Amino acid sequence: MKMTVYLVQSAYQWYCSQKSKDDLGLPDLNRPNAKGQVDLFLGERFCRYNNCPKDSPATSTNNLRKHYADKHADITLASSGGRPSLQDEKDAVEFYVAIRDEYDAKVAAIAEVKPEIPRKADGTVHLTNMRKVARERGGQVPCEPCKDAEDSAGCCREENADRCDNFDLFATREGGSKGEEAE
């Protein structure tokens, strides 16, 4: 049996391993073709009907087709008969890769949100917590620039914010004044 291309694509395997369509940001269904029929991509498992509450994947594309027939009788799916063309397979791979790329971008954007610098009640840096979080986020204490300055003890201290790499791991306050700091 010849394994079709889209089945061995990692993006497709990733798509099939998803338990819920909520996080996937699936595109709307394709517009009906000239015959008024809607095309699915090869291998689709999740219903893309607008606001359909079915969140979980169908166990096969055939079962997904049955779901459309049962629940969304206002649309007609184009038949899946015959061997898929190379173009069909290409389109499907592009479809799954685009979904995964978008998902990855969303996850990366969330990870990019930096934490606030831990501060004590008086507003000064809470050194212990700052160093702990810096390490958790991949920073070193002391960081290289603080080591180079032979001031390991000064790492993560506010007065070294311009030098210390670990401040990059935290959100900066836009427009925040540093008071009387002489430049």
Instruction: Single out the residue of 26, 39, 54, 77 in contact with Zn ion (rule: CB under 5 A).
Output: 54
Per CB under 5 A, contacts with Zn ion among 86-105 are none
Q: Is 146 in the site for Zn ion (CB under 5 A)?
A: yes
Q: Using the minimum distance from each CB to Zn ion, give the nearer residue, 99 or 155.
A: 155
* Closest to 61 measured CA to CA, from 3, 7, 2, 1: 7
Q: Is 125 in the site for Zn ion (CB under 5 A)?
A: no
Contact yes or no for 12/92 (Cβ under 8 A): yes
Angle (CA) 101-105-108 rounded to 5° is: 140
Number of residues binding to Zn ion, judged by CB under 5 A: 10
In the complex, least distance from residue 155 CB atom to Zn ion, rounded to whole angstroms:
3
Q: 38 has which bridge partners? A: 77
Q: Which helix (H) or strand (E) holds 7?
A: helix 5-8
Q: Is 40 in the site for Zn ion (CB under 5 A)?
A: no
Residues in touch with Zn ion (CB under 5 A): 47, 49, 52, 54, 71, 143, 146, 155, 164, 166
